[in-house]
Amino acid sequence: MAKFIDCDSAEARDVYKLLISIVAPRPIGWISTVSENGVSNLAPFSFFNMMSMNPAVFAFSASLFSDLSKKDSLRNIEKTKCFVHNLVTEDLLLPMHRSAEELEYNQSEFAHVGLTPIPSHKISAPRVKEAKVNVECELLQIVSLGEKAGNGQVVFGKVLAIHINDESILSSSGDAEAEKIEYVSRLGRNNYLLGGRIQTESRK
């Protein structure tokens, strides 16, 4: 039996829950920022991906809260014009998940989840010391998809620097080897995909 869903008449929350269980697995943008007052922030976003090759551009979407307020990450980026993506691996699954908890604006998720902020080289936003990879990004633009609750505010950042903190994940040709990285990706609800079977297909 088939089911048809008209998204114009369905509840937005119901459509959202269905789509995030269909559009999966999704990479997790673990975004660290800093406020104008120097308070470090860390939060995961599953609406995240690489958007351009040259220049290299990352993007993530931070939805507006029900009261139309902005997430701390977005507020910080609007002020400081930068952010860092930190690679999520299996050993960091729990602190990554806990970093999504809502704290007061002047509280740091780094301290809350027991992680270490360290300076970046080119921007003011801190990096997660415990992550195998950090990617420093400079804000290119923010595209608003609306001003209602749940509307995405899409942040585009130009990649300025990449930190490989564990060189054992690199191949002799300089790219990361999937077999050596315990990837974590997001599924529906609070489910995550750990690792996963790798199938390599040749290009003809």
Residue 3's alpha-carbon distances to 11, 15, 21, in angstroms, are 16, 13, 16
pTM reported for the whole predicted model: 0.93
Question: What gap in Å lies between CA 124 and CA 158, rounded to an integer?
Answer: 15
In words, the CATH class of domain 28-193 is mainly beta
The domain spans of the chain are: 28-193
Mean pLDDT, the chain cut into blocks of 10 residues (204 residues total): 95 93 95 97 97 98 95 98 97 95 94 97 98 98 96 98 95 90 91 74 58
Q: What is the CA radius of gyration of the chain?
A: 18
Report how far residue 55's alpha carbon sits from residue 140's, in angstroms, rounded to the nearest whole number: 11
Give residue 203's identity as a one-letter amino acid code.
Answer: R
Rounded-to-integer distance, Cα 26 and Cα 60, Å: 12
